[in-house]
Structure 1
């Protein structure tokens, strides 16, 4: 009787807590993470062969990724309460994650970062770029697997856990994922023993070596920018003192140009034009253009100020180039793949806009696309602009393809300058030549191009080159106007990044600019080619001619200030000191004054770089200690009180 009673009790407990399901649940939780790793890595890497090689050569990292998948799957399971739907949801999440990383890498050379989740509507703009049978097959395979998993619930038992084990397992999963995200000591030790290596300067290598999920998780901690060693009020006081000592008494308070009469001086308009994906396609060594697509730029390269701007981006991320030019700050000191406009520019940040406003200018941002993109509406406000003219403010604009024409942007710039009683600082961003370039947007228009290119590559290059020609003509349109008007004006035009010409740098590879479509295998010279966009500077008054072989986007503002004889405020003064030592500064490419190339900064410039990094941290994340010692009015300048009033729609 006693044994019978005991057996009944055990049976009751078994039914109550579902212990009979423990074996299949445990088996599935052990096997499914392995399948998820293999599936996600195959999508991310592009082939099962590469995934298998990685698993064999890095077994510890393979199992560490499987552990992360297990934690994530267990967390979903504990929330949902049914195993099969939980597996389907996990497969969907990790499938999307790997697809995004694959396509993002193919398009712009960067994998999927934690902060990409914040892109919201911007992320949808990748959709038109994903075309072709192979892409649809990948997407269809992922969706098919997910649908099949959901369908399995019709024939597979619920395999549920009671609440108490669910709470316990869910809590353990959250703790484990959090520990890996913040790099807790025990998680860091586990990564070290597994052979993990965080390669921040080359995120493709980082994801390739460590695996998609581990690399993604390791990047989470970089969402918060660490305080530089030695940062504090005294350090900022020392930097301010050094800037003050270097300033010369002859620096002008504002740019002035003598009038024809010679008796008065006026402030010139300063116009920056960042032309979407503007580049010189004739630089492809194995391609020949019968007609030069950019004759205006070519003439300025021979006669005026010109050179090559080193962009922190390739194929996308326009706002990051804006951020560098406008603030003088460097993306090299921020997490790889971050977007300052959306993540960090949440309070007033000193910029070229607030600087020229301080000199009595009217500052205007112009972008021929929607104002919400990259959160420009808010970012331009925080950067001190007086007004922002987005595509919504263009009345019946001329279109070229799906976007507002570059010529229309030039017309709006002319209109704004002609109607303003004050000199203008304009920062304009165009959109016409945005990719993809396989849409034949210009109809039968063509350029005579020769080269050993596939038909698809030739079509892409044709479309891009026509857009580059239009961009060049829009610059000439501005030059013609201001030559005739005589109103002192200086124009700086450049591209934000090289265009994305096909998957895996296809046109660049076929055209001979690079030897391989694997960017992690590029030489430093090839990397420089793939980050260099032309810039030119024109004025209807005399400027000293100059040839600049390499200059980072973050140094362009101080370069223009120096050319115009302006006194540089603190951020631009510090980065000008760095420019004097290393004119090119990217995350994984440094160019010195002799055009020697390095993959990291040489020791002799480290002190200047530390000052640069520290001041950037102070202004973007810190206490703004520098404003207590130098340029207080500029560094503390609030947002414009009437920001964008002229373009606000009247209330209904």
Structure 2
């Protein structure tokens, strides 16, 4: 009976075995064992938890918690801050209380076993089941000898009514999310496990079934039965058995199935991916409809090119689904979605991919076998190849190609998508991807693959703007500042680029200029108040003499390094480039006006250093365009020191080596470090690890420990040049903030990400910059600039005259102290979206800036532009 319905051939068995080995291997690698109980850790200081009682008279802490699922509590941990053991009780009493306020678990802990500034794990001898939605609590008291309530050691926890409030009761303070509850959720594993087993059974049936082989036999038998019934005027008896035979034998049924698969394939493809992304229920019906139409048009195009609808669907699914998985991976490691420009950066991504980890939840993984089932179903029901005449092939080709191109053309070139509420959120790509789904979000971002000519652009307009632009004499330059909050929430006046005059101490002598873009360098103390076990950047914070420090607003977060260096070395802003683009990859020219090309005119030797592959971000070609003399890459480092990647100190040793062998010309050197590059789950064994007090952020700890080593390396570099007599100015800035735990940033900013406004979002774009010189320059600790003004800051402190384009930037910075891809800052320190609340003055300045930038960088008539901007090319 078994062999009657299933056919086991060598090919089928081999295919099934390979498929099962692949799926089971992926399942174990990506999700872990489905059989064992999975441990999940949540913080008691989450949205379902709160401190509901802190009683100073009795020194009692009651921390409530509840869950949106039934959990089995088997352990939890408590974070203790600094405390003196002789000032608190001897025994800490910990109790877990259920929804009826009954004690269900109790344990006494000797205070001497508790380590200050560390967590203490409570392993429960019996598990406690907590029903869904039931509010329970953990209660802690302390006693000493005959005193029932002694002082409790400092406990770090969270006051959820106001996360920014520090509560203090005697020796107890509450701050940060620190009471962790680890629990098992075997019931959540049951559904994916059962579904996975069912999927394997379905795959077994699809691969080995032989019932469809009987269709020809059933068809002939059915035709005889129909003739016999007509002849004897009898009707065919209805039964499940006859219905199955009819389904197998009637060609129209298979035709309907094929048509349904063709129609539903685009929707099924999008649905499977969005289920993995967790956005299946958040995407609006209109987005689903247009995504269906978009992928249907692509299916038409694949069919036109391949000629067989079944094979075309397979090809499309096997290409687009992995691309969607790439989006899931990129979202996990850098916090931003996969965009069209990222295709050009594949080489860079693959180089650092080994440092990232990729995993799926069991619920996400079950989509992969479902995708395999769908692909096999398409293959098994595909139309067989048929010989057609040339005229029929042409008709078939045109009938699929024309509709496909027409649909995509309409969606791309008309306003039908915006009219239906499908738009790109330019300054929040994550939100845009969640609202539009991956495929639609990727499609609408294709609009940003070319630089649009600004309204009113002409060479005459460029000449007119430049004619009105002139350098402001230092003697008449006004001091400007903006009111901003420092990291501790105190508002103070902070100077901007326009506040700094050109340095006169050099008296015409050209100093060496070293510009360092430090990978992922961030100084969180500039944007929020956080407690660490030690200062991550003690040397940088100590710099005062001949030092200008502050925040530099860049245009990228988590990734996109080359866009930051592009802004810093050209004075251009990413605000006027297509959203999500990469300039080096997409818009590189044979000749580029830039800081190195200008300094080369002044007699500088220009070199670049990057302790990684020179192919990353198309830098080899781009630096040639910028007129760098040499580009030193990883190939030029012999037996370097590694701190995750080649260390910052090793990079600075190369800088010193190039300085010592520079010859008679002054040196301009651009150094891109890589030590602090993501990912941050590498578990490096740090000598002096830096962590957030009272919180457990694995990625943040890795990152903070890394920049602590970077700070030491920067001290090594400054110590060297402070002993040199040849004048040298060094500028270091971060390319972007690291992509680490969102919860870390939520704690840093004091509010959940869903509540962030433009002011909050910009805080994650405020990297530190430091300008230091071994000669007299202005001194400032809290300057505010944006990355397009960094070039001006460097040239002014070097005592070098600003080129004509940079003179316009100087004029612009008086009214717009900072700007980036997200918006612009006014002179009151307030951030605005572009084209909103712009005064006539600001609108004119920004419009003229866009026109000048287009001419300065994008206009291909370099001879005319060189004449207008008075730059060589």
TM-score after normalising by structure 1: 0.83
1:611 alignment partner in structure 2: 848
Aligned partners of 2:692 and 2:701 also within 8 Å: no
Q: Which of 433, 450, 454 is equivalent to 2:676?
A: 433
Q: Which of 261, 264, 289 is equivalent to 1:63?
A: 289
Query: 1:311, 1:445 → 2: CA distance?
Result: 31
Q: Deviations over 1:439-485 (max 9, x none)?
A: 122x252335353323xx2x322321221112111211121111212
1:272 alignment partner in structure 2: 515
Q: Which of 722, 729, 744 is equivalent to 1:490?
A: 729
1:158 alignment partner in structure 2: 383
2:273 alignment partner in structure 1: 40
2:627 alignment partner in structure 1: 384
Q: Which of 660, 677, 687 is equivalent to 1:445?
A: 687
Relative distance call for 1:350 and 1:31 in structure 2 (3 A) is same
Query: 1:223, 1:51 → 2: CA distance?
Result: 28
1:464 alignment partner in structure 2: 703
Indicate whether 1:529 and 2:763 are aligned: yes
Query: 2:424, 2:662 → 1: CA distance?
Result: 52
1:548 Cα deviation from its structure 2 partner: 4.5
Q: Which of 252, 258, 261 is equivalent to 1:25?
A: 258
2:819 alignment partner in structure 1: 585
2:138 alignment partner in structure 1: none
Query: 2:657, 2:504 → 1: CA distance?
Result: 22
2:788 alignment partner in structure 1: 554
Task: Pick 1 or 2: higher relative contact order, CA cutoff 8 A, min separation 6.
Answer: 1
Q: Deviations over 1:243-301 (max 9, x none)?
A: 247678999xx98855xxxxx86321111111111112556857422322212210125
Aligned partners of 2:521 and 2:735 also within 8 Å: yes
Query: 1:102, 1:180 → 2: CA distance?
Result: 28
Aligned partners of 1:233 and 1:625 also within 8 Å: no
Of structures 1 and 2, the larger Rg is shown by 2
1:413 alignment partner in structure 2: 655
2:203 alignment partner in structure 1: none
Where structure 2 has 5 or more consecutive residues not aligned to the other structure, the ranges are 1-250, 478-501
1:6 alignment partner in structure 2: none
1:408 Cα deviation from its structure 2 partner: 0.9
Relative distance call for 1:135 and 1:369 in structure 2 (3 A) is farther
Relative distance call for 1:135 and 1:314 in structure 2 (3 A) is farther
Relative distance call for 1:34 and 1:536 in structure 2 (3 A) is same
1:333 alignment partner in structure 2: 576
| Count of equivalent residues | 589
Indicate whether 1:356 and 2:606 are aligned: no
Query: 1:228, 1:284 → 2: CA distance?
Result: 34
71-80 or 353-362: which moved more?
Answer: 71-80
Aligned partners of 2:722 and 2:774 also within 8 Å: yes
Q: Residue 308 of structure 1 aligns to a residue in which SS?
A: strand
1:618 Cα deviation from its structure 2 partner: 1.1
Relative distance call for 1:42 and 1:586 in structure 2 (3 A) is farther
Query: 1:25, 1:242 → 2: CA distance?
Result: 68
1:130 Cα deviation from its structure 2 partner: 4.8
Q: Residue 179 of structure 1 aligns to a residue in which SS?
A: helix
1:51 alignment partner in structure 2: 280
Relative distance call for 1:352 and 1:610 in structure 2 (3 A) is same
Relative distance call for 1:37 and 1:146 in structure 2 (3 A) is closer
2:448 alignment partner in structure 1: 222
Superposed counterparts of 1:271-290, under 5 Å: 271-281=514-524, 287-290=530-533
2:187 alignment partner in structure 1: none
Query: 2:833, 2:326 → 1: CA distance?
Result: 28
Relative distance call for 1:514 and 1:92 in structure 2 (3 A) is farther
Aligned partners of 1:274 and 1:429 also within 8 Å: yes
2:46 alignment partner in structure 1: none
Query: 2:573, 2:431 → 1: CA distance?
Result: 22
Q: Deviations over 1:625-651 (max 9, x none)?
A: 76365443x2x32xxxxxxxxxxxxxx
Query: 1:447, 1:218 → 2: CA distance?
Result: 43
Indicate whether 1:516 and 2:752 are aligned: yes
1:182 Cα deviation from its structure 2 partner: 4.2
Indicate whether 1:366 and 2:609 are aligned: yes
2:344 alignment partner in structure 1: 118
Relative distance call for 1:607 and 1:160 in structure 2 (3 A) is farther
Indicate whether 1:171 and 2:401 are aligned: yes
Q: Which of 628, 642, 645 is equivalent to 1:399?
A: 642
Query: 2:648, 2:584 → 1: CA distance?
Result: 24
2:202 alignment partner in structure 1: none
Structure with greater strand percent: 2
Aligned partners of 1:286 and 1:451 also within 8 Å: no
Aligned partners of 2:520 and 2:738 also within 8 Å: yes
Q: Residue 748 of structure 2 aligns to a residue in which SS?
A: coil
Aligned partners of 1:329 and 1:571 also within 8 Å: no
1:561 Cα deviation from its structure 2 partner: 1.8
Q: Residue 515 of structure 1 aligns to a residue in which SS?
A: coil
Aligned partners of 1:237 and 1:629 also within 8 Å: no
Aligned partners of 2:547 and 2:772 also within 8 Å: yes
1:177 Cα deviation from its structure 2 partner: 5.1
Q: Residue 350 of structure 1 aligns to a residue in which SS?
A: coil
Query: RMSD value over aligned CA atoms?
Result: 3.0
Q: Which of 468, 471, 477 is equivalent to 2:716?
A: 477
Q: Deviations over 1:105-160 (max 9, x none)?
A: 3443432222222223123256436525426974x556534443443366434356
Q: Residue 195 of structure 1 aligns to a residue in which SS?
A: coil
26-35 or 304-313: which moved more?
Answer: 26-35
1:93 Cα deviation from its structure 2 partner: 2.7
Aligned partners of 1:286 and 1:452 also within 8 Å: no
1:296 alignment partner in structure 2: 539
284-293 or 378-387: which moved more?
Answer: 284-293
Aligned partners of 1:344 and 1:620 also within 8 Å: no
Q: Residue 543 of structure 2 aligns to a residue in which SS?
A: helix
Q: Deviations over 1:277-326 (max 9, x none)?
A: 11125568574223222122101258721110111111111100000000
Relative distance call for 1:34 and 1:369 in structure 2 (3 A) is same
Q: Which of 399, 423, 427 is equivalent to 1:197?
A: 423
Q: Residue 120 of structure 1 aligns to a residue in which SS?
A: helix
Relative distance call for 1:392 and 1:177 in structure 2 (3 A) is farther
Aligned partners of 1:348 and 1:382 also within 8 Å: yes
Aligned partners of 2:333 and 2:679 also within 8 Å: no
Superposed counterparts of 1:80-91, under 5 Å: 80-91=306-317
Aligned partners of 1:437 and 1:461 also within 8 Å: yes
Q: Deviations over 1:144-190 (max 9, x none)?
A: 3444344336643435686345302331244135414641x4xx3x3
TM-score after normalising by structure 2: 0.63
Query: 1:328, 1:242 → 2: CA distance?
Result: 19
Aligned partners of 1:587 and 1:600 also within 8 Å: no
Q: Which of 561, 565, 583 is equivalent to 1:318?
A: 561
